[in-house]
Structure 1
Amino acid sequence: MLGLSFFKDIYLNRRLILQLSVKDLKDKYLGSYLGFLWAVIQPTISILIFWFIFQVGFKSMPVDNYPFILWLVAGIIPWFFFSDAIMNATNSIVSNVFLVKNVVFRVSLLPIVKIISPLIIHLIFLVLMVLMFWGYGYPPNIYFLQIFYYLFAMSVFLLGISWITSALVIFLKDVGQILSMLLQFGYWITPILWSLKMIPGKYEFLIKLNPMYYIIEGYRNSLIFRSWFWEYPRMSLYFWFVTLCFLFIGAFIFKRLRPHFADVL
Protein backbone atom coordinates (compact mmCIF):
# COMPACT_ATOMS: atom_id res chain seq x y z
CA MET A 1 0.00 0.00 0.00
CA LEU A 2 2.90 2.34 0.65
CA GLY A 3 4.74 1.38 -2.50
CA LEU A 4 5.03 3.21 -5.78
CA SER A 5 1.62 1.94 -6.83
CA PHE A 6 -0.05 3.99 -4.09
CA PHE A 7 1.58 7.23 -5.24
CA LYS A 8 0.83 6.25 -8.84
CA ASP A 9 -2.84 5.91 -7.91
CA ILE A 10 -2.79 9.36 -6.32
CA TYR A 11 -1.42 10.80 -9.55
CA LEU A 12 -3.84 8.88 -11.78
CA ASN A 13 -6.84 9.83 -9.63
CA ARG A 14 -5.69 13.38 -8.88
CA ARG A 15 -8.62 15.01 -10.67
CA LEU A 16 -11.18 12.78 -8.98
CA ILE A 17 -9.53 13.36 -5.59
CA LEU A 18 -9.66 17.12 -6.12
CA GLN A 19 -13.26 16.98 -7.34
CA LEU A 20 -14.32 14.93 -4.32
CA SER A 21 -12.47 17.31 -2.01
CA VAL A 22 -14.19 20.37 -3.47
CA LYS A 23 -17.55 18.55 -3.36
CA ASP A 24 -16.95 17.65 0.28
CA LEU A 25 -16.22 21.29 1.06
CA LYS A 26 -19.35 22.48 -0.75
CA ASP A 27 -21.59 19.87 0.89
CA LYS A 28 -20.40 20.90 4.33
CA TYR A 29 -21.74 24.43 3.92
CA LEU A 30 -24.61 23.69 1.52
CA GLY A 31 -27.83 25.45 2.47
CA SER A 32 -26.31 28.09 4.74
CA TYR A 33 -26.67 31.74 3.73
CA LEU A 34 -22.99 32.56 4.16
CA GLY A 35 -21.88 29.27 2.66
CA PHE A 36 -18.13 28.91 2.32
CA LEU A 37 -17.54 32.01 4.46
CA TRP A 38 -18.41 29.96 7.56
CA ALA A 39 -15.16 28.07 7.05
CA VAL A 40 -13.33 31.33 7.76
CA ILE A 41 -15.76 32.96 10.19
CA GLN A 42 -15.91 30.15 12.78
CA PRO A 43 -12.13 29.78 13.35
CA THR A 44 -11.71 33.57 13.29
CA ILE A 45 -14.29 33.99 16.05
CA SER A 46 -12.52 31.32 18.12
CA ILE A 47 -9.20 33.13 17.70
CA LEU A 48 -10.76 36.47 18.73
CA ILE A 49 -12.35 34.89 21.81
CA PHE A 50 -9.04 33.39 22.96
CA TRP A 51 -7.26 36.67 22.21
CA PHE A 52 -9.81 38.61 24.30
CA ILE A 53 -9.64 36.15 27.21
CA PHE A 54 -5.87 35.87 27.41
CA GLN A 55 -4.67 39.29 26.29
CA VAL A 56 -7.48 41.56 27.43
CA GLY A 57 -8.77 39.52 30.37
CA PHE A 58 -5.58 37.90 31.71
CA LYS A 59 -3.39 40.66 30.23
CA SER A 60 -0.95 38.19 28.69
CA MET A 61 2.38 39.76 27.91
CA PRO A 62 4.13 39.52 24.52
CA VAL A 63 5.83 36.16 24.04
CA ASP A 64 9.52 36.52 23.21
CA ASN A 65 8.86 40.17 22.31
CA TYR A 66 6.18 39.20 19.79
CA PRO A 67 2.54 40.33 20.15
CA PHE A 68 0.50 37.63 21.85
CA ILE A 69 -2.02 37.49 19.00
CA LEU A 70 0.72 36.58 16.48
CA TRP A 71 2.12 33.91 18.79
CA LEU A 72 -1.41 32.57 19.26
CA VAL A 73 -2.41 32.34 15.58
CA ALA A 74 0.91 30.66 14.68
CA GLY A 75 -0.06 27.79 16.99
CA ILE A 76 -3.83 27.61 16.79
CA ILE A 77 -4.24 27.73 13.00
CA PRO A 78 -2.29 24.49 12.34
CA TRP A 79 -4.26 22.84 15.16
CA PHE A 80 -7.55 23.85 13.52
CA PHE A 81 -6.41 22.10 10.35
CA PHE A 82 -5.22 19.01 12.22
CA SER A 83 -8.38 18.52 14.28
CA ASP A 84 -10.75 19.22 11.39
CA ALA A 85 -8.84 16.95 9.00
CA ILE A 86 -8.57 14.00 11.40
CA MET A 87 -12.29 14.07 12.22
CA ASN A 88 -13.22 14.34 8.53
CA ALA A 89 -10.80 11.60 7.49
CA THR A 90 -12.07 9.27 10.22
CA ASN A 91 -15.52 9.32 8.60
CA SER A 92 -14.20 9.21 5.04
CA ILE A 93 -15.20 5.59 4.40
CA VAL A 94 -18.55 5.74 6.16
CA SER A 95 -19.58 8.88 4.25
CA ASN A 96 -18.62 7.45 0.85
CA VAL A 97 -20.29 4.05 0.86
CA PHE A 98 -21.10 4.34 -2.85
CA LEU A 99 -17.39 4.44 -3.69
CA VAL A 100 -16.68 1.44 -1.47
CA LYS A 101 -19.44 -0.71 -2.96
CA ASN A 102 -20.09 0.41 -6.52
CA VAL A 103 -16.97 1.99 -8.03
CA VAL A 104 -13.55 0.64 -8.89
CA PHE A 105 -11.70 3.07 -6.67
CA ARG A 106 -8.78 2.66 -4.30
CA VAL A 107 -10.56 3.21 -1.01
CA SER A 108 -7.31 4.02 0.80
CA LEU A 109 -7.34 7.34 -1.11
CA LEU A 110 -10.57 8.48 0.57
CA PRO A 111 -8.85 9.79 3.74
CA ILE A 112 -6.71 11.95 1.45
CA VAL A 113 -9.89 13.51 0.04
CA LYS A 114 -11.04 14.40 3.55
CA ILE A 115 -7.62 15.84 4.38
CA ILE A 116 -7.48 18.00 1.26
CA SER A 117 -10.83 19.74 1.85
CA PRO A 118 -9.75 21.31 5.19
CA LEU A 119 -6.31 21.85 3.65
CA ILE A 120 -7.91 24.30 1.21
CA ILE A 121 -9.28 26.27 4.17
CA HIS A 122 -5.90 26.06 5.89
CA LEU A 123 -4.14 27.56 2.87
CA ILE A 124 -6.53 30.52 2.99
CA PHE A 125 -5.69 31.02 6.65
CA LEU A 126 -1.98 30.79 5.89
CA VAL A 127 -2.34 33.71 3.49
CA LEU A 128 -4.34 35.68 6.07
CA MET A 129 -1.78 34.85 8.75
CA VAL A 130 1.13 36.06 6.61
CA LEU A 131 -0.77 39.29 5.89
CA MET A 132 -1.44 39.65 9.61
CA PHE A 133 2.26 39.30 10.44
CA TRP A 134 3.05 41.78 7.69
CA GLY A 135 0.53 44.23 9.10
CA TYR A 136 2.23 44.03 12.49
CA GLY A 137 5.55 44.91 10.87
CA TYR A 138 6.94 41.42 10.26
CA PRO A 139 7.09 41.01 6.46
CA PRO A 140 7.51 37.59 4.82
CA ASN A 141 11.02 36.16 4.79
CA ILE A 142 12.76 32.98 3.64
CA TYR A 143 11.79 31.17 6.85
CA PHE A 144 8.10 31.49 6.00
CA LEU A 145 8.58 28.95 3.18
CA GLN A 146 9.41 26.31 5.79
CA ILE A 147 5.73 26.20 6.71
CA PHE A 148 5.18 23.97 3.67
CA TYR A 149 7.61 21.41 5.09
CA TYR A 150 5.67 21.30 8.36
CA LEU A 151 2.39 21.22 6.45
CA PHE A 152 3.62 18.20 4.48
CA ALA A 153 4.85 16.53 7.68
CA MET A 154 1.47 17.06 9.35
CA SER A 155 -0.39 15.71 6.31
CA VAL A 156 1.65 12.49 6.31
CA PHE A 157 1.04 12.13 10.05
CA LEU A 158 -2.68 12.68 9.45
CA LEU A 159 -2.79 10.05 6.72
CA GLY A 160 -1.29 7.39 8.98
CA ILE A 161 -3.74 8.12 11.79
CA SER A 162 -6.72 8.36 9.46
CA TRP A 163 -6.02 4.94 7.92
CA ILE A 164 -6.32 3.51 11.42
CA THR A 165 -9.36 5.46 12.58
CA SER A 166 -11.31 5.32 9.29
CA ALA A 167 -10.98 1.54 9.20
CA LEU A 168 -11.77 0.95 12.87
CA VAL A 169 -14.79 3.28 13.00
CA ILE A 170 -16.62 1.02 10.56
CA PHE A 171 -16.53 -1.83 13.07
CA LEU A 172 -16.44 0.19 16.29
CA LYS A 173 -18.62 3.31 16.22
CA ASP A 174 -17.16 4.55 19.51
CA VAL A 175 -13.91 5.41 17.74
CA GLY A 176 -15.31 8.78 16.69
CA GLN A 177 -16.24 9.72 20.27
CA ILE A 178 -12.93 8.49 21.64
CA LEU A 179 -11.04 10.48 19.02
CA SER A 180 -13.04 13.61 19.83
CA MET A 181 -12.06 13.32 23.51
CA LEU A 182 -8.41 12.68 22.62
CA LEU A 183 -8.40 15.81 20.46
CA GLN A 184 -9.77 17.88 23.34
CA PHE A 185 -7.11 16.47 25.63
CA GLY A 186 -4.41 17.01 23.01
CA TYR A 187 -5.51 20.60 22.49
CA TRP A 188 -4.78 21.51 26.08
CA ILE A 189 -1.54 19.57 26.52
CA THR A 190 -0.08 21.01 23.32
CA PRO A 191 1.55 24.45 23.78
CA ILE A 192 -1.05 26.34 21.76
CA LEU A 193 -2.47 28.76 24.32
CA TRP A 194 0.47 28.52 26.71
CA SER A 195 4.25 28.48 26.44
CA LEU A 196 6.39 25.47 27.27
CA LYS A 197 8.40 27.77 29.54
CA MET A 198 5.43 27.83 31.93
CA ILE A 199 5.94 24.25 33.13
CA PRO A 200 8.84 22.78 35.14
CA GLY A 201 11.75 21.64 32.98
CA LYS A 202 11.50 18.05 34.23
CA TYR A 203 8.11 17.70 32.50
CA GLU A 204 9.10 19.21 29.16
CA PHE A 205 10.06 15.86 27.62
CA LEU A 206 6.51 14.58 28.19
CA ILE A 207 5.06 17.47 26.19
CA LYS A 208 7.63 16.95 23.45
CA LEU A 209 6.50 13.33 23.03
CA ASN A 210 3.36 14.72 21.41
CA PRO A 211 4.06 14.81 17.63
CA MET A 212 1.90 17.92 17.30
CA TYR A 213 4.37 19.78 19.51
CA TYR A 214 6.86 19.45 16.66
CA ILE A 215 4.35 20.89 14.18
CA ILE A 216 3.14 23.77 16.36
CA GLU A 217 6.66 24.78 17.31
CA GLY A 218 7.66 24.36 13.67
CA TYR A 219 5.10 26.94 12.56
CA ARG A 220 6.36 29.31 15.24
CA ASN A 221 9.97 28.65 14.32
CA SER A 222 9.08 29.55 10.73
CA LEU A 223 7.02 32.65 11.48
CA ILE A 224 8.51 33.98 14.69
CA PHE A 225 11.79 32.49 15.87
CA ARG A 226 13.38 32.13 12.42
CA SER A 227 15.03 28.75 12.82
CA TRP A 228 15.19 25.75 10.46
CA PHE A 229 13.93 22.27 11.20
CA TRP A 230 17.40 20.75 10.78
CA GLU A 231 18.51 22.79 13.79
CA TYR A 232 16.44 20.33 15.86
CA PRO A 233 17.68 16.96 14.53
CA ARG A 234 16.47 14.89 17.49
CA MET A 235 12.96 16.29 17.35
CA SER A 236 12.83 15.86 13.58
CA LEU A 237 14.03 12.25 13.75
CA TYR A 238 11.58 11.47 16.55
CA PHE A 239 8.65 13.00 14.69
CA TRP A 240 9.36 11.12 11.46
CA PHE A 241 9.93 7.86 13.34
CA VAL A 242 6.52 8.17 15.03
CA THR A 243 4.87 9.32 11.79
CA LEU A 244 6.26 6.41 9.76
CA CYS A 245 5.19 4.00 12.50
CA PHE A 246 1.63 5.32 12.28
CA LEU A 247 1.82 5.17 8.49
CA PHE A 248 2.90 1.53 8.33
CA ILE A 249 0.60 0.41 11.15
CA GLY A 250 -2.26 2.29 9.51
CA ALA A 251 -1.52 0.73 6.14
CA PHE A 252 -1.44 -2.74 7.72
CA ILE A 253 -4.73 -2.30 9.59
CA PHE A 254 -6.47 -0.73 6.59
CA LYS A 255 -5.30 -3.51 4.26
CA ARG A 256 -6.44 -6.24 6.64
CA LEU A 257 -9.88 -4.74 7.24
CA ARG A 258 -10.53 -3.46 3.69
CA PRO A 259 -12.10 -6.73 2.37
CA HIS A 260 -14.79 -6.53 5.07
CA PHE A 261 -15.84 -2.90 4.53
CA ALA A 262 -18.63 -3.61 2.05
CA ASP A 263 -20.08 -6.38 4.24
CA VAL A 264 -20.37 -4.16 7.30
CA LEU A 265 -21.45 -1.02 5.45
Structure 2
Amino acid sequence: MEFIKTILKNRSIIWKLGKSDFKNRFASTSLGSIWGFLQPFIFQMMYVFVFQYVFKSPGEAGAPYVVWFLPGMAIWQCLNDSIMSASNSIRSYSYLVKKVIFPVDAIPIISLIGSSFVSIFLFIIATAVCIAFKFVPNVWIVLYIIFATYAFIIAFTRLTSAITTLVPDFSNLLGILMQLFFWATPVVWSLTRLADHPTMLNIMQYMPFSYLVTGFRQAFMGGDIITANHGIYTIVFWVITILMFVWGNHVFNKNKKDFADVL
Protein backbone atom coordinates (compact mmCIF):
# COMPACT_ATOMS: atom_id res chain seq x y z
CA MET A 1 0.00 0.00 0.00
CA GLU A 2 1.29 3.45 -0.97
CA PHE A 3 0.64 4.97 2.47
CA ILE A 4 2.75 2.34 4.27
CA LYS A 5 5.54 2.62 1.67
CA THR A 6 5.63 6.39 2.19
CA ILE A 7 5.92 6.04 5.96
CA LEU A 8 8.67 3.41 5.75
CA LYS A 9 10.62 5.34 3.12
CA ASN A 10 10.63 8.51 5.23
CA ARG A 11 10.77 6.87 8.68
CA SER A 12 14.03 8.54 9.70
CA ILE A 13 12.89 12.13 9.09
CA ILE A 14 9.42 11.34 10.47
CA TRP A 15 10.99 10.11 13.73
CA LYS A 16 13.19 13.22 14.03
CA LEU A 17 10.26 15.56 13.35
CA GLY A 18 8.12 13.58 15.81
CA LYS A 19 10.63 14.13 18.61
CA SER A 20 10.85 17.82 17.73
CA ASP A 21 7.05 18.01 17.72
CA PHE A 22 6.93 16.95 21.37
CA LYS A 23 9.71 19.33 22.44
CA ASN A 24 8.22 22.29 20.56
CA ARG A 25 4.87 22.01 22.34
CA PHE A 26 6.46 23.26 25.55
CA ALA A 27 9.46 25.17 24.18
CA SER A 28 8.28 28.51 25.60
CA THR A 29 7.96 27.26 29.22
CA SER A 30 10.60 27.09 31.94
CA LEU A 31 10.05 23.40 32.68
CA GLY A 32 9.83 22.55 29.01
CA SER A 33 8.84 18.98 28.17
CA ILE A 34 8.30 18.16 31.86
CA TRP A 35 4.89 19.82 31.54
CA GLY A 36 3.98 17.25 28.92
CA PHE A 37 4.21 14.52 31.55
CA LEU A 38 3.14 16.53 34.59
CA GLN A 39 -0.17 17.87 33.26
CA PRO A 40 -1.81 14.54 32.32
CA PHE A 41 -0.49 12.89 35.50
CA ILE A 42 -2.07 15.59 37.70
CA PHE A 43 -5.25 15.31 35.62
CA GLN A 44 -5.40 11.58 36.34
CA MET A 45 -4.79 12.05 40.07
CA MET A 46 -7.62 14.60 40.25
CA TYR A 47 -10.04 12.06 38.80
CA VAL A 48 -8.81 9.38 41.21
CA PHE A 49 -9.32 11.71 44.18
CA VAL A 50 -12.80 12.81 43.11
CA PHE A 51 -14.19 9.41 42.16
CA GLN A 52 -12.43 7.21 44.72
CA TYR A 53 -12.48 9.45 47.79
CA VAL A 54 -15.33 11.93 47.18
CA PHE A 55 -17.87 9.81 45.28
CA LYS A 56 -16.61 6.53 46.83
CA SER A 57 -16.71 4.77 43.46
CA PRO A 58 -15.92 1.06 43.79
CA GLY A 59 -13.43 -0.83 41.69
CA GLU A 60 -14.04 -4.23 40.11
CA ALA A 61 -12.75 -7.79 40.56
CA GLY A 62 -11.52 -6.97 44.04
CA ALA A 63 -9.35 -4.08 42.85
CA PRO A 64 -9.46 -0.54 44.25
CA TYR A 65 -10.80 2.19 41.98
CA VAL A 66 -7.33 3.54 41.15
CA VAL A 67 -6.29 0.15 39.70
CA TRP A 68 -9.50 -0.12 37.71
CA PHE A 69 -9.35 3.51 36.53
CA LEU A 70 -5.75 4.21 35.49
CA PRO A 71 -5.39 1.70 32.60
CA GLY A 72 -8.62 2.87 30.96
CA MET A 73 -7.74 6.53 31.45
CA ALA A 74 -4.25 6.01 30.01
CA ILE A 75 -5.70 4.56 26.81
CA TRP A 76 -8.30 7.33 26.60
CA GLN A 77 -5.70 10.10 26.97
CA CYS A 78 -3.64 8.39 24.27
CA LEU A 79 -6.68 8.33 21.99
CA ASN A 80 -7.78 11.89 22.70
CA ASP A 81 -4.37 13.58 22.49
CA SER A 82 -3.27 11.64 19.42
CA ILE A 83 -6.52 12.14 17.53
CA MET A 84 -6.67 15.88 18.22
CA SER A 85 -3.01 16.56 17.40
CA ALA A 86 -2.93 14.37 14.27
CA SER A 87 -6.21 15.83 13.01
CA ASN A 88 -4.74 19.35 13.19
CA SER A 89 -1.28 18.33 12.03
CA ILE A 90 -1.45 19.41 8.39
CA ARG A 91 -2.45 22.93 9.36
CA SER A 92 0.22 22.94 12.09
CA TYR A 93 2.86 21.89 9.57
CA SER A 94 1.56 23.97 6.70
CA TYR A 95 5.12 24.99 5.76
CA LEU A 96 5.88 21.36 4.87
CA VAL A 97 2.91 21.37 2.52
CA LYS A 98 3.48 24.77 0.90
CA LYS A 99 7.24 25.24 0.70
CA VAL A 100 8.99 21.90 1.21
CA ILE A 101 8.92 18.76 -0.89
CA PHE A 102 7.63 16.40 1.78
CA PRO A 103 5.00 13.62 1.62
CA VAL A 104 1.87 15.12 3.13
CA ASP A 105 0.66 11.61 4.01
CA ALA A 106 3.36 11.40 6.70
CA ILE A 107 2.48 14.61 8.53
CA PRO A 108 -0.24 13.15 10.83
CA ILE A 109 2.25 10.43 11.85
CA ILE A 110 4.66 13.15 13.01
CA SER A 111 2.08 14.50 15.45
CA LEU A 112 1.17 10.96 16.47
CA ILE A 113 4.79 10.30 17.44
CA GLY A 114 4.91 13.59 19.33
CA SER A 115 1.90 12.53 21.39
CA SER A 116 3.24 9.03 22.00
CA PHE A 117 5.91 10.07 24.50
CA VAL A 118 3.27 11.12 27.02
CA SER A 119 1.14 8.07 26.21
CA ILE A 120 4.04 5.71 26.96
CA PHE A 121 4.65 7.54 30.25
CA LEU A 122 0.98 7.10 31.24
CA PHE A 123 1.08 3.41 30.28
CA ILE A 124 4.12 2.95 32.54
CA ILE A 125 2.44 4.78 35.45
CA ALA A 126 -0.72 2.66 35.10
CA THR A 127 1.33 -0.54 34.96
CA ALA A 128 3.45 0.42 37.99
CA VAL A 129 0.40 1.27 40.13
CA CYS A 130 -1.40 -1.94 39.17
CA ILE A 131 1.66 -4.08 39.92
CA ALA A 132 2.04 -2.29 43.27
CA PHE A 133 -1.46 -3.54 44.12
CA LYS A 134 -0.48 -7.02 42.88
CA PHE A 135 -2.44 -6.84 39.62
CA VAL A 136 0.07 -8.05 37.05
CA PRO A 137 -0.96 -7.39 33.43
CA ASN A 138 -1.19 -9.90 30.63
CA VAL A 139 1.69 -8.61 28.50
CA TRP A 140 0.32 -10.00 25.23
CA ILE A 141 -3.07 -8.34 25.67
CA VAL A 142 -1.39 -5.06 26.66
CA LEU A 143 0.73 -5.11 23.49
CA TYR A 144 -2.27 -6.10 21.37
CA ILE A 145 -4.45 -3.27 22.71
CA ILE A 146 -1.68 -0.71 22.21
CA PHE A 147 -1.24 -1.93 18.62
CA ALA A 148 -5.01 -1.84 18.05
CA THR A 149 -5.20 1.67 19.55
CA TYR A 150 -2.62 3.10 17.16
CA ALA A 151 -4.15 1.28 14.21
CA PHE A 152 -7.49 2.89 15.03
CA ILE A 153 -5.92 6.33 15.53
CA ILE A 154 -4.18 6.16 12.14
CA ALA A 155 -7.41 5.05 10.44
CA PHE A 156 -9.51 7.69 12.20
CA THR A 157 -7.11 10.60 11.61
CA ARG A 158 -6.58 9.66 7.98
CA LEU A 159 -10.10 11.00 7.55
CA THR A 160 -10.21 13.77 10.17
CA SER A 161 -6.86 15.32 9.19
CA ALA A 162 -8.14 15.78 5.63
CA ILE A 163 -11.44 17.27 6.78
CA THR A 164 -9.77 19.63 9.28
CA THR A 165 -7.40 20.89 6.58
CA LEU A 166 -10.29 21.69 4.24
CA VAL A 167 -12.74 22.86 6.94
CA PRO A 168 -10.89 24.45 9.92
CA ASP A 169 -14.07 24.65 12.02
CA PHE A 170 -14.20 20.86 12.08
CA SER A 171 -11.39 20.91 14.65
CA ASN A 172 -13.68 22.60 17.19
CA LEU A 173 -16.49 20.16 16.42
CA LEU A 174 -14.09 17.23 16.83
CA GLY A 175 -13.02 18.55 20.23
CA ILE A 176 -16.66 18.62 21.35
CA LEU A 177 -17.26 15.12 19.97
CA MET A 178 -14.24 13.77 21.86
CA GLN A 179 -15.60 15.22 25.10
CA LEU A 180 -18.94 13.52 24.42
CA PHE A 181 -17.17 10.24 23.64
CA PHE A 182 -15.24 10.53 26.91
CA TRP A 183 -18.42 10.50 28.98
CA ALA A 184 -20.12 7.96 26.70
CA THR A 185 -17.15 5.58 27.00
CA PRO A 186 -16.66 3.58 30.23
CA VAL A 187 -13.55 5.48 31.32
CA VAL A 188 -14.70 6.77 34.73
CA TRP A 189 -17.78 4.56 34.99
CA SER A 190 -18.25 0.80 34.61
CA LEU A 191 -20.21 -1.09 31.97
CA THR A 192 -21.86 -3.01 34.82
CA ARG A 193 -24.04 0.07 35.35
CA LEU A 194 -25.81 -0.89 32.11
CA ALA A 195 -26.59 -4.44 33.24
CA ASP A 196 -30.31 -3.60 33.37
CA HIS A 197 -30.20 -2.10 29.88
CA PRO A 198 -28.94 -4.94 27.64
CA THR A 199 -29.53 -3.11 24.35
CA MET A 200 -27.49 -0.09 25.44
CA LEU A 201 -24.82 -2.38 26.91
CA ASN A 202 -24.53 -4.24 23.62
CA ILE A 203 -24.18 -1.00 21.65
CA MET A 204 -21.49 0.27 24.02
CA GLN A 205 -19.45 -2.93 23.74
CA TYR A 206 -19.32 -2.59 19.95
CA MET A 207 -17.96 0.98 20.09
CA PRO A 208 -14.22 1.13 19.18
CA PHE A 209 -13.43 3.53 22.04
CA SER A 210 -15.17 1.26 24.52
CA TYR A 211 -13.43 -1.82 23.11
CA LEU A 212 -9.98 -0.29 23.57
CA VAL A 213 -10.58 1.16 27.04
CA THR A 214 -12.20 -2.03 28.31
CA GLY A 215 -9.59 -4.23 26.67
CA PHE A 216 -6.62 -2.44 28.22
CA ARG A 217 -8.34 -2.47 31.60
CA GLN A 218 -9.08 -6.19 31.34
CA ALA A 219 -5.42 -6.89 30.63
CA PHE A 220 -4.78 -5.87 34.25
CA MET A 221 -7.96 -7.34 35.74
CA GLY A 222 -7.66 -10.89 34.42
CA GLY A 223 -10.09 -10.57 31.51
CA ASP A 224 -9.60 -11.52 27.87
CA ILE A 225 -10.82 -9.15 25.16
CA ILE A 226 -9.70 -11.33 22.24
CA THR A 227 -11.19 -14.77 22.78
CA ALA A 228 -14.24 -16.42 24.37
CA ASN A 229 -17.38 -14.25 24.40
CA HIS A 230 -15.43 -11.13 23.40
CA GLY A 231 -14.34 -12.48 20.00
CA ILE A 232 -17.24 -10.83 18.15
CA TYR A 233 -16.27 -7.42 19.55
CA THR A 234 -12.74 -7.91 18.25
CA ILE A 235 -14.02 -8.78 14.78
CA VAL A 236 -16.35 -5.77 14.71
CA PHE A 237 -13.56 -3.47 15.93
CA TRP A 238 -11.21 -4.47 13.13
CA VAL A 239 -13.94 -4.30 10.48
CA ILE A 240 -14.74 -0.72 11.60
CA THR A 241 -11.04 0.22 11.70
CA ILE A 242 -10.30 -1.17 8.23
CA LEU A 243 -13.40 0.41 6.66
CA MET A 244 -12.56 3.74 8.29
CA PHE A 245 -9.02 3.62 6.93
CA VAL A 246 -10.25 2.78 3.42
CA TRP A 247 -12.74 5.66 3.55
CA GLY A 248 -10.25 8.06 5.09
CA ASN A 249 -7.56 7.06 2.60
CA HIS A 250 -9.96 7.77 -0.28
CA VAL A 251 -10.91 11.20 1.09
CA PHE A 252 -7.28 12.08 1.88
CA ASN A 253 -5.87 11.07 -1.51
CA LYS A 254 -8.72 12.75 -3.36
CA ASN A 255 -8.13 16.11 -1.68
CA LYS A 256 -4.43 16.27 -0.78
CA LYS A 257 -3.56 17.99 -4.07
CA ASP A 258 -5.69 20.92 -2.87
CA PHE A 259 -4.13 21.21 0.61
CA ALA A 260 -1.44 23.69 -0.44
CA ASP A 261 -4.00 26.02 -2.05
CA VAL A 262 -6.32 25.83 0.96
CA LEU A 263 -3.49 26.60 3.38
Query: Normalising by structure 2, what TM-score?
Result: 0.94
Pairing of 1:69-218 with structure 2 (within 5 A) = 69-140=66-137, 143-199=138-194, 200-218=197-215
Q: 1:223/1:213 Cα in 2 relative to 1: closer, same or farther (>3 Å)?
A: same
The answer on whether the counterparts of 2:41 and 2:122 sit within 8 Å (CA) in structure 1 is no
Q: Distance in 2 between matches of 1:261 and 1:178?
A: 20
The counterpart of 2:258, out of the listed 250, 257, 260, is 260
The counterpart of 1:242, out of the listed 240, 243, 253, is 240
Report the AA paired with residue 194 of structure 1.
W
Q: Distance in 2 between matches of 1:209 and 1:134?
A: 29
Q: Deviations over 1:127-172 (max 9, x none)?
A: 22222112122345xx123212111111111112212111111221
Counterpart of 2:16? Answer: 19
* Offset at residue 113 of structure 1 (A): 1.1
Report the AA paired with residue 239 of structure 1.
F
The runs of 5 or more residues in structure 1 that have no matched partner are none
Counterpart of 2:61? Answer: 64
Q: Distance in 1 between matches of 2:41 and 2:109?
A: 25
Asked if residue 38 in structure 1 is aligned to residue 35 in structure 2, the reply is yes
Q: Name the SS for the 2:89 alignment partner.
A: coil
Q: Distance in 2 between matches of 1:139 and 1:100?
A: 45
Q: How many residues align?
A: 260
The runs of 5 or more residues in structure 2 that have no matched partner are none
Q: Deviations over 1:12-66 (max 9, x none)?
A: 2111111111111001011212211112211111111111111111112232211
Q: Deviations over 1:196-236 (max 9, x none)?
A: 11122231022123211110111012111242513322001
The answer on whether the counterparts of 1:71 and 1:220 sit within 8 Å (CA) in structure 2 is yes
Percent sequence identity over aligned pairs = 28
Q: Name the SS for the 1:191 alignment partner.
A: coil
**Residue range with higher mean Cα deviation, 50-59 or 99-108:** 99-108
The answer on whether the counterparts of 1:144 and 1:223 sit within 8 Å (CA) in structure 2 is no
* Offset at residue 239 of structure 1 (A): 0.2
Query: Normalising by structure 1, what TM-score?
Result: 0.93
The answer on whether the counterparts of 1:85 and 1:118 sit within 8 Å (CA) in structure 2 is yes
